[in-house]
Amino acid sequence: METNVWPMTDLLLWLHIGFAIFALGPITAATMSTPRFIRAKDVGVLRYLHKTTRVYGVASVGVFLFGVLLGREFLSRPYLSVSMTLFIVAAVLLVMVDRDQGTAIRVLTSDSPDDDAKVQTGRIAALSGVIVLIWIVILVLMVWGDPV
């Protein structure tokens, strides 16, 4: 009797795509809009964006986890190795963005008028852009990586 593993593969694919949409989308929006609210010195919104970055950053681990489970038979293929490495790089960059968001909040809530979080604004904008580019490269690798 032959067992059918397709339902499990289909479930993993749905979970992988679902986590990618519902975790990476909000985290991208939160990190990309952070510099605008630092410049506006809107600490309330910055706190919300910082919390959003943390929550969806943790949820983005699901993208990686379900991707590894989905491709467990093909992990030796270069496009998967490159994609996983890039995802880890993006995760490290997200940790740096999270740190800079916290620093910007701390700076903007201090009594010192000297620091206006310009350093954090530029770094968050740059890192967020790199993260988005990494995710686009991963998407291209997943779609056109290996047709087998």
Question: Would you place residue 80 in the very low, low, confident or very high pLDDT band (cuts 50, 70, 90)?
Answer: very high
Region of poorest pLDDT, from 12-26, 45-59, 101-115:
101-115
Cα–Cα distance for residue pair 141/135, rounded to 1 Å: 10
Q: What is the pLDDT of residues 26-72, one digit of tens each?
A: 999 999 999 999 999 999 999 999 999 999 999 999 999 999 999 88
Cα–Cα distance for residue pair 48/86, rounded to 1 Å: 27
Cα–Cα distance for residue pair 132/121, rounded to 1 Å: 17
Cα–Cα distances (Å) from 108 to 38, 42, 115, in that order, read 8, 9, 8
Tell me the residue type at 90: A
Retrieve residue 54's tokens.
């943390």
What is the pLDDT at residue 55?
97
Whether the pLDDT of residue 120 is over 80: the answer is yes
For the segment 128-141, the average pLDDT, to the nearest whole number, is 96
Whether the pLDDT of residue 146 is over 70: the answer is no
* Separation of CA 93 from chain center: 9
Enumerate the H helices of the chain as residue ranges: 6-19, 25-39, 43-59, 61-70, 78-108, 118-144
- 69 Cβ neighbours under 8 A, 6+ residues apart: 12
What is the pLDDT at residue 2?
52
Q: Select from 143, 137, 128, 141 the least CA-distant residue to 31.
A: 128
Say if pTM beats, i.e. exceeds, 0.85: yes
Other beta carbons within 10 angstroms of residue 143's beta carbon come to 7
What is the pLDDT at residue 117?
80
Chain length of the chain: 148
Whether the pLDDT of residue 6 is over 80: the answer is no
**With pLDDT > 90 as the criterion, what percentage of the chain qualifies?**
74
Whether the pLDDT of residue 147 is over 70: the answer is no
For tokens 């289909």, the residue is 10
What is the pLDDT at residue 110?
86
